[in-house]
Structure 1
Amino acid sequence: MAPRSTTLPVLLALCVALPTASCGGDDPRGSADGSGTDGTGGTLPTTGDATSDTPTGGGADDFGPESEFVLRLNDKPSDPLQLNMNKAEVAELFGDTAKDIALIEVESKTLLTQTLDTIKNACGTAWTADDPDPKHNCDLTELGKTFKGPDNTWKSSPEYSLIRILTMTPANSKVKGTSIAGMQGLADALGIGGGFAQILSESLGIARTEEFITTPELVLALQRNLLATHPAVGGDGSTLPVNLEDALKDLTTLTTKLGPVGPHPGILAPGFQSFSEVLTADFRMMAEADSNLRLLDGIDLSVGKDYMSTIVDLTGPDFDNALEFDFEDPDKFSITGVADNPTVDMRFAVREHATFINSCAGDEACKQNLPENEAMVKAMWPGSAWAIDKWLLEAVVVTGGREKYKNRMFKKCYEVLFTCALGAEVSIGPPSGWAKFDVFLDLGNPPKDQYVWELINEVAQVALHTPPSGDIPEGQANVEFTLFDIPIGITGPQVAEAVRPFLQQQAGKISELLLGDYKKNNGAVDFYYRRGADGVPYLFFVTAEDLADGTPADLYKNPGFFSCPAVSADCKVSTLELGDAGDTTHEKVKLAPGETTLYLQDDTGEVYRAAFNVQGSGDPVEIGVRVAAKK
């Protein structure tokens, strides 16, 4: 994957591969004209005439004139690559590839909690009182003032209708038009159980002023149903992925990234630009990486001496990284200039189902109407809240309700004239959450047996479509909340530390993005001289993996080193596995002191003789080679 900038990666590749002197321009080339030099003006000792037609080693009349070169081991490690960049420079360096670098996963709980609490209180906080009238007034807040319904007031808006649901408590519950409305009228008229609000409070096990579904349960429901089902989030929805491009572009990318995708209506609504200055104008990124690129001397048999770079990665865990980053080390990586407490502006959206979702009620089989029985539910109750798309409002409400009351068990008789027979009995369970309402002579037409969360979902749907100033048709109560300065839930210092493991996991990818295809700058050598993993020098015959991407794997029909001009299998002296070289993909050979004559075939099929001269018995950091082509 090539970075957007082409010149910078090439420069980086050269500077991390070459010793310091080479980066300064000292890049000697060997002679290929038969002049008998090593390419730097020096002359090697030989056992034959380097410019004659009588070369040393078998078949003197079969080979042409020799060209003489020196192959050296470049043991001096390259200087570390050091980057110290501001926001613009990071954007320029990574370009379009910034979107491929995962920077952090923001835990979604805090963001969703802050979002829901802001929405709940958009029409005031009087709903928290033990009062039948929640006294909503959306003109009290900037968010509430944005609600506009058909009559251009907040009272007819779907946003306000949703707030009525989110802030509904036993004390202020409005159940007109639902299956439990008759019971409310009966309980309040006769004072049964202290009134309907008290019965609800006791039955559900919540305070009279507590919401039917509180924020923690709704957060879980939104994570599972809305976030986890979005292609850009996935998982269990507990985290939101933020990549380098998102951060560099002040999270303006989120509108599209978390917007509608395929059948999913999106988490954020189109038409509003999300924004968060996570990285401030003072942002700096410092990174230092050791280079695993090693410059190697090699020979292109038909041309002469050339150079190539290869990766020598002894650190791991991948063992194939051109640059060795340690993002966990504060001395080798740091970011500064992150906002102390980042917030985000966004337009949060939730869509409803096109039709009313009826409860599964009055049938013992409905006890199986649960999300874990998905196949059965879709076959038997295709209109169930568990059978529709999970991201829809009705599915979110029923999921939150079940989360809150999944373990609820309750039973109580509410007497009239000191006898239960004339009153009502409310029982929840078994199974947990299964509600039954037994009323004398079925007065008030009590709800049929059903799960608590199904009943709450019915109440919510009716409330959603019956705001004070006119009904909202089914399928048109979609809501959008334009929110400003919602805390993301992570501090600047936490961001600076949290990015470390994410970047470390992508160290190889970052190395590749920074350097691009460094191999495209490699010379077309046929073999090269390098140390193995054991520190011992070997001759390596090149493979397609050493050359530019796209080089055919079968470029060489007969790779390797041979002891006879016929370059046949019976005289091959090289092998793929040799000592502790740490390599099993290259044909290689270890040279003995003195002179060794070997034969090779290049990618065109031409045969060459190479006479190698190794002086001394120590560590041969420099060897001579005389190359001649077969006539």
Structure 2
Amino acid sequence: MLQITNTLSAIVVGSMLLLGGCIEPLTIEDDPPQAEIAVSETRRIELRYLRFDVEGFEQVLTLDDLRAMPQATLDGVWLLDLELTPLVQNALTQLKQLPPDQVSQLPQAAQNMRTLLNITPDNVDLSGTSLEELIGLSSSVGLPPAKALSDIFEIGVTENFISIEANTQAVVQGLIASHPATQLRDGPVDAAHPDGLWAVAPNSLPITLGDVVSNFDDLAMRFGPTMTEFGEHPGFIEQATGLSVIEEEFAMTVKVNLNPLPYKGADLTDVSGASVNSIASQIESVFPVDDPDWMQVEGLVASPSISSMTVVMVENDQFIASGTSQDPLPTGNSPAWSLPPWEFERVVAEMTMLSAADISNHCTNYELGTGVQAFSACIDDNHWVEFETFNNVGNPPPPSYAWDVVLELAQVRLHDGGLQEGDADIAFTLSDVPLGVAAADIVEEIRTNMAADPVALQDLAENLTANTFGFADFYYWKPKPGGSAQWEGDWLFFVTADDIPVDDSGPARPYAYANPGFFADAALTNKLSSTANVDGDDTHEKVRIAAGDVLFVEDDVGRVYRIDVAAKPSANRLALDVTRVN
């Protein structure tokens, strides 16, 4: 794996050679394991503060470099929330426009779904629905039924009852936005997100670096069946392969400003030296996000697409009756509005309501050839539709909302071909479906998101340096040269859970400290340290020390140690005498 420390080591060594003998040799080796310190035994340890600042260093990460990293690290780097509306619209459009020879290969329910996407006043089959009465009424005045329907819905006779945009919006909001995987994503733990769960942008798919590297190979699993507050969500992607977003030449280049060398600390078990990765304490300033070129991404497919995708939508096992009352407003009393948001009948009701929003309050009167009014069709501001007949022309369809009209029609037509209720779950496989977003837009959103939250890159950056060795309980810290005078001096920082490396098997060790921090007494009742902000760090227990200070500290198995701060061997070295108390 490509590591910053490997590359920088040559720079560090070269600099030391140029500077000659005026600076003691730089070494970062840690002590070999030794026997545990015994009760009442005292051992001395010297800790050295290491620093070698670099600015504008360009780190290139290839696809192979990323593949070598722990999957947990890659999955923890959120890149963007991909808005799914373009993808869904492309999928529905492809189904709608599928050639006849391919339509015949679809399951019957999917064929019927395609018919519904193409339905217009001119080609609609009203048989088996309450609107069948409209055929007789229209015939009585010499009018095609298509004309009455187009008048009511204020569309042309060859226009779709429901636009592809309304279809898309209803599917996205009902089927996709109701899936838990599109609602929350994992992210850093902070005051606003104590559980580490972050809201996903509406109607979007959270994309991580792990998704990009693995080419989204778990898409069907992530967005398959899962439990929700409404019951089991059936999922919306049954199968997906070949999501083409990156090429093998993919590379991510980031500029970094940092001290790549680790902090030196002590493992109290045997009072041996250990190293703690220094990235966490610098993460807010590691990436020069004000530089427009701080991150470059190459090797993205110009027009990302999915080579094969099977979309699913389930129907309710029962026929869902249309509403018979205007109340409760604004939907009426159809049971469809109580269904889970992902079921076909609920989605149809929602998409029709969206389409009906543009229909005005109006009435159309139809006359016999003699000039006598035969029937009228009216729709009010709430989109309640009423047909009224005159002069014994015939029986009008019952009044209902516009969405009730389409709901009944859609259910009847979905079961064409002999399908029974409960047997018309929809599944259709499409090929080469564009994601609907350009590579340049993806890169810009990634760069913007990373700049706004560089902490999200902490695990990635720590894996690049990968210089935590041993099991330090605390480490030696000094402020950066030229920093604020209020932080001057020597400090001991107690480790936090974030200082423990994590790979796919989990943390290298549990964070089992019952009393983290530094105390004035062996009973650990008088704490000397705090998490007060010091040079941007407000998570570590820390204390400023000087020669002659006495501290007490407890390790992760409950053993207490006394620390006597000795005279400093040199400006950047610290000597500590450690005595085990119990």
Q: TM-score, normalised by structure 2?
A: 0.76
Larger Rg: 1 or 2?
1
From 242, 265, 269, give the equivalent of 2:234.
265
Cα deviation, 1:370-423, whole Å, max 9, x if unaligned, reads 45xxxxx7xxx5x62111122121211111111111353111221225555x41
Deviation at 1:506, TM superposition (A): 5.3
SS at match of 1:277: strand
Which AA in structure 1 matches 2:567?
Answer: F
From 435, 440, 456, give the equivalent of 1:488.
435
Cα deviation, 1:86-117, whole Å, max 9, x if unaligned, reads 32331222434433333333222222222122
SS at match of 2:378: strand
Name the structure 2 match of 1:133: none
Deviation at 1:455, TM superposition (A): 0.6
In the TM superposition, what are the counterparts of 1:183-222 in structure 2 within 5 Å?
A: 183-191=134-142, 194-222=143-171
From 217, 230, 233, give the equivalent of 1:252.
217
Q: Is the 8 A contact 2:146 2:157 kept in 1?
A: yes
Name the structure 2 match of 1:510: 457
Name the structure 2 match of 1:37: none
Further displaced range: 221-230 or 549-558: 549-558
SS at match of 1:521: coil
Further displaced range: 80-89 or 441-450: 80-89
Deviation at 1:170, TM superposition (A): 1.4
In structure 1, list runs of 5 or more residues that go unmatched. 1-7, 31-62, 124-137, 149-156, 314-318, 372-376, 561-565, 615-619
Evaluate the alpha carbon distance shift between residue 588 and residue 15 of structure 1 in structure 2; reply closer, same or farther with a 3 A threshold: farther
Deviation at 1:310, TM superposition (A): 6.5
In structure 2, list runs of 5 or more residues that go unmatched. 17-24, 32-39, 184-199, 501-509
Distance of 1:116 and 1:551 partners within structure 2: 53
From 350, 367, 392, give the equivalent of 2:327.
367
Q: Is the 8 A contact 1:526 1:541 kept in 2?
A: yes
From 400, 413, 431, give the equivalent of 2:365.
413
From 91, 94, 99, give the equivalent of 1:115.
91
Further displaced range: 343-352 or 411-420: 411-420
Distance of 1:254 and 1:66 partners within structure 2: 55
Deviation at 1:496, TM superposition (A): 2.3
In the TM superposition, what are the counterparts of 1:142-541 in structure 2 within 5 Å?
A: 143-148=102-107, 157-191=108-142, 194-234=143-183, 238-262=203-227, 263-269=232-238, 272-291=239-258, 295-296=262-263, 306=273, 308-309=275-276, 311=278, 321=283, 324-326=286-288, 329-344=291-306, 345-361=308-324, 363=325, 366-368=326-328, 370=330, 381=333, 384-408=335-359, 409-419=361-371, 422-429=373-380, 431-440=381-390, 443-466=393-416, 470-505=417-452, 507-515=454-462, 521=469, 524=472, 528=476, 530-531=478-479, 534-535=484-485, 537-541=488-492
Deviation at 1:342, TM superposition (A): 1.6
Q: Is the 8 A contact 1:228 1:236 kept in 2?
A: no
From 554, 569, 575, give the equivalent of 2:515.
554
Distance of 1:510 and 1:260 partners within structure 2: 31
Evaluate the alpha carbon distance shift between residue 230 and residue 567 of structure 1 in structure 2; reply closer, same or farther with a 3 A threshold: closer
Which AA in structure 1 matches 2:447?
Answer: R
Total equivalences in the alignment: 524
Cα deviation, 1:27-84, whole Å, max 9, x if unaligned, reads 4789xxxxxxxxxxxxxxxxxxxxxxxxxxxxxxxx99997x8766544325777542
Deviation at 1:247, TM superposition (A): 2.4
Further displaced range: 296-305 or 231-240: 296-305
Cα deviation, 1:236-269, whole Å, max 9, x if unaligned, reads 8532333323322333322222222241122122
Further displaced range: 19-28 or 75-84: 19-28
Q: Is the 8 A contact 1:16 1:81 kept in 2?
A: no
Deviation at 1:625, TM superposition (A): 5.4
Q: Is the 8 A contact 1:295 1:307 kept in 2?
A: no
Distance of 2:312 and 2:542 partners within structure 1: 62
Distance of 2:209 and 2:561 partners within structure 1: 50
Distance of 2:8 and 2:469 partners within structure 1: 13
Distance of 2:438 and 2:159 partners within structure 1: 31
From 75, 78, 100, give the equivalent of 2:76.
100
Further displaced range: 82-91 or 338-347: 82-91
Distance of 1:89 and 1:328 partners within structure 2: 26
Q: Is the 8 A contact 1:311 1:322 kept in 2?
A: no
CA RMSD of aligned residues (A): 4.4
Distance of 1:578 and 1:276 partners within structure 2: 47
Evaluate the alpha carbon distance shift between residue 85 and residue 623 of structure 1 in structure 2; reply closer, same or farther with a 3 A threshold: closer
Deviation at 1:554, TM superposition (A): 2.3
Pairing 1:20–2:12 present: yes
Identity of aligned pairs, percent?
A: 20
Name the structure 2 match of 1:3: none
Which AA in structure 1 matches 2:103?
Answer: G
Evaluate the alpha carbon distance shift between residue 80 and residue 411 of structure 1 in structure 2; reply closer, same or farther with a 3 A threshold: same
Distance of 1:259 and 1:579 partners within structure 2: 44
Which AA in structure 1 matches 2:336?
Answer: A
Q: Is the 8 A contact 2:30 2:275 kept in 1?
A: no
Q: Is the 8 A contact 1:559 1:601 kept in 2?
A: yes
Further displaced range: 440-449 or 114-123: 440-449
Distance of 1:104 and 1:485 partners within structure 2: 22
SS at match of 1:342: strand
SS at match of 1:436: strand
Distance of 2:169 and 2:474 partners within structure 1: 61
Distance of 1:569 and 1:478 partners within structure 2: 65
Deviation at 1:474, TM superposition (A): 1.5
